[in-house]
Chain A
């Protein structure tokens, strides 16, 4: 009996071909290391968020202790801010809307970097356009500078005259329900990312 060499060759070739095509589509196994939990930048290990006491737009003092038990989103800005602050505040407002009933566990604190022009009334009016729950905070220039220093926040006057601008850190600090500074969300993230991270922090 003669073995059909041609058929054997073709069969072996077909087998090899199918094996190699399979090889081209096999993905390497997913990495087993701990996946990044948050969309924001994470601090490891986390420390207590630096405390402060400032004058609030809601008529009382603004301290982090007051909002212990809530996830605090702390951000710095000024009411004359053309684009960055309105974008951030709109995103945070959208975030609370997306959370529905769970929005009650989120507190936005907006600290001014421009005490010269930002009176309590002005900040209150500015924030009301975005969300009635947002709390603004101001104080003496020295007190505000001290808070910025503790958080590594920069604020520089640009231009002169009445219509000067302030170049300032635009990131949002995420403080968990125990008061720990857990993460920092750079400017530009969508509300969905905040919702994701708030849910993750609240679950712990």
Chain B
């Protein structure tokens, strides 16, 4: 009777552990990805104009910005300088922010005088699909957190 009792608990533990593992994988692959903040922030620091006038070549916006629907799908441009700046598709006053949401996955091109070739590209990828894509996204987040790598690009 003692042996049977021992085996029963062992079996229970094994079942519990495997359920935790598969349940965890199931969650990681299926559960929708929710984040609190959707902003992808790009800032013009204070003094940019002065430095540009002094001859410094300053690149504030990359030529291509990558966003993902449902994760970082709001382009937040902030002007902390003392003068208005052309920033992507618009003029932003000192101290002003411009928050542009994207709702469709596509490639968007904006005219931008701040860029050498006059163009800013924003590539919006679809939300990671249920299954392998979501699992891979969560694994990436986990390993990034573990190695304390920066997760998004903040300029």
> Which of A's residues lie within 8 Å of B, judged by CB?
2, 5-6, 8-9, 12-13, 16-17, 19-21, 23-33, 36, 38-45, 47, 150-152, 154, 167, 169, 171, 184, 186, 188
Contacts and interface: CB of A to CB of B under 8 A. Distances in A.
The 4 closest A-B pairs by CB, nearest first: A152-B91, A20-B23, A41-B100, A5-B8
Contacts of B11: 9
Nearest to B35: A31
A21 B20 CA distance: 10
Given A16-B15, A16-B19, A41-B98, A24 B34 contact: no
A13 B35 contact: no
Contacts of A28: 31-32, 34
A45 to B, nearest CB: 7
A44 B90 CA distance: 13
B98 A154 contact: no
B32 A27 contact: yes
Given A16-B15, A31-B37, A186-B108, A47 B8 contact: no
Interface of B: 1, 4-5, 8, 11-12, 15-16, 19-20, 22-24, 26-27, 30-32, 34-38, 74-75, 84, 86, 89-93, 95-101, 103, 108, 110-111, 113, 118
A44 B31 contact: no
B89 A30 contact: no
A2 B32 CA distance: 45
Contacts of B92: 43
Contacts of A24: 23, 26-27, 30-31
* Chain A contact residues, majority secondary structure: mixed
Given A8-B8, A9-B12, A20-B20, A41 B30 contact: no
A47 B26 CA distance: 49
Contacts of B103: 39
A16 B23 CA distance: 9
Contacts of B37: 31, 33
A10 to B, nearest CB: 9
A169 B89 contact: yes
A16 B34 contact: no
A36 B74 contact: yes
Given A41-B101, A154-B113, A13 B31 contact: no
B74 A33 contact: no
A132 B48 CA distance: 46
B96 A44 contact: yes
B31 A27 contact: yes
A20 B101 contact: no
7 contacts: A13-B19, A24-B26, A24-B30, A28-B31, A31-B35, A31-B37, A32-B36
Contacts of B95: 45
B23 A25 contact: no
A27 B33 CA distance: 8
B96 A151 contact: no
A64 B80 CA distance: 28
A167 B111 contact: yes
A163 B23 CA distance: 65
Nearest to A28: B34
Nearest to A38: B101
Contact of A9 (B15, B23, B86, B113): B15
Contact of B26 (A13, A21, A39, A40): A21
Contacts of A2: 1
